[in-house]
Chains A and B, each alone.
Chain A
């Protein structure tokens, strides 16, 4: 584990979905601390609760019980109306399907996020150019998403996630729609974001090929989270 400031902490976090008379535990008493500059990869079978973990970490969903501390702020204690601001300032999201706005260019997609905080003008423009440059997309800044390849879209999505200089980057299956070469490039880029830009990166992924690029690998199954030591096989069928 890297030493540094805790960017995300889960304290006895549980999430239960109730369907009729049946309770489904997506997360059970999870306690976790993620440090600055760490790259964490959360793996597990489908339906294991990975997305639930990510949405709770991203202040998009509240846990049934427990506390979530993000950059020192107790997200579980925050009023619902203050959560968007927490997401704007502290968290960057990267999605499996990129989720760029189709009608906006690469540049505008990044600018849009900065607009949520009222950041505009030349300073903002310079920052957008710098971010697109950092992810190797400055030359495609005027292109609409439909003109970009999957890897390029994900690079723009990474630039967008960094636009408001958040502490934490949450990536949901960031390599799922990319071939192995592009997938690895994206993960290397995320690692660079963590190590050189000082961000904390948590990815949820099925992609075993990028396991070695994470500082820690966590296995989530039946709501339980366990750390997998380097070189250790992943549990069950999934590891084969």
Chain B
């Protein structure tokens, strides 16, 4: 019967009910969409490093991740690394964050020069045009193409040099920057790093002890650091996410507060307006507990409806988000939606708590002679 009263009370003032549900839906959408962005970015950012065929990344000491790419190593180190026990092969890659001329101002890229014969350090997944760049050619990341406004056949310019976009790949998106692949020689020539390398990608023999190898590299080459592929992926992921997470937390908190405020206000107003009905219910024997339950039910129904709409908007929004903002890579996970459901229930409970004092203060005597 309480459900009946709940339903009737909610539907009695449809506009207010719609505002309340809309407020929760907006809040749920913001929270779940931001979480899906977080998950999408987290997954994407480390993907390139994880997919590169390497057990160990060797870099200059002080280098922590792929994004900064603050590493310079001599070319002749490759042979010395190949000579170490347990090493199957060593591939150099030249990496540098940069911006091509005449592209959109916010389009940053990581130029990656790799050995096109081995393919190690190259594109994760080819999607269009050439799979392997030749001299004077570049394979851009699809997201970079959209951010920078360049596509197949266009020319990228830097320091008086030109590269033709010969292919498009995916899997090299770091949110704030994306990969552009060229041949190793092209990168060295373009960046003036003829005798230098950024990273060495080391593949070990089967059964080799990775941790022992990284220690041996650091012992053998002072000023050099060796990180396992997983470690390097993690530090790369952390580099990006560390700058995003604080902003996300603030927005998530604000979205939660907005949800509570809108629901709380509408539930409180509805309670104030229904004070007389609460008085009648008290007079005929309803306890304060019953009335709290009634308000809680109203709040929960509002919350759950808002949650359903908000999740629907999130699923819809996440499908088309990258059409509007190329860097918006989303991943909607049921674990996150469960978390958002919990947050919604919490919003509803908090909103229902606001009018508790008001309900307790309703004097049933008010319904006599009025």
Contact = CB atoms under 8 A, between A and B. Distances in A.
B interface, size bucket? 20 to 34
B2 interface: yes
A104 B5 CA distance: 7
A103 B368 contact: no
Interface in B127-146: none
Nearest to B3: A115
A116 interface: yes
A105 to B, nearest CB: 9
A84 B286 contact: yes
Interface in A23-75: 51, 54-55, 58, 60-61
A160 interface: yes
A97 interface: yes
A111 B285 contact: no
Given A101-B5, A103-B8, A116-B290, A172 B369 contact: yes
B8 A58 contact: no
B212 interface: no
Interface stretch (A87-95, A195-203, A220-228): A87-95
B219 interface: no
A94 to B, nearest CB: 10
A60 B365 contact: yes
A157 to B, nearest CB: 10
A120 B2 CA distance: 12
A61 B283 CA distance: 11
Contacts of B368: 51, 54-55, 95-96, 172
B327 to A, nearest CB: 49
Interface string B1-18: 110110011011000000
B367 interface: yes
Interface string B283-326: 11111001000000000000000000000000000000000000
Contact of A112 (B1, B11, B369): B1
A99 B11 CA distance: 20
B47 interface: no
B364 interface: yes
Given A95-B367, A102-B12, A160 B2 contact: no
Given A102-B12, A104-B5, A88 B370 contact: no
Contacts of B369: 51, 96, 172-173
A76 interface: no
A3 to B, nearest CB: 30
Interface of A: 51, 54-55, 58, 60-61, 81, 84-85, 87-89, 93, 95-97, 99, 101-104, 108, 111-116, 120, 160, 164, 172-173
Interface of B: 1-2, 4-5, 8-9, 11-12, 277, 280-287, 290, 364-365, 367-370
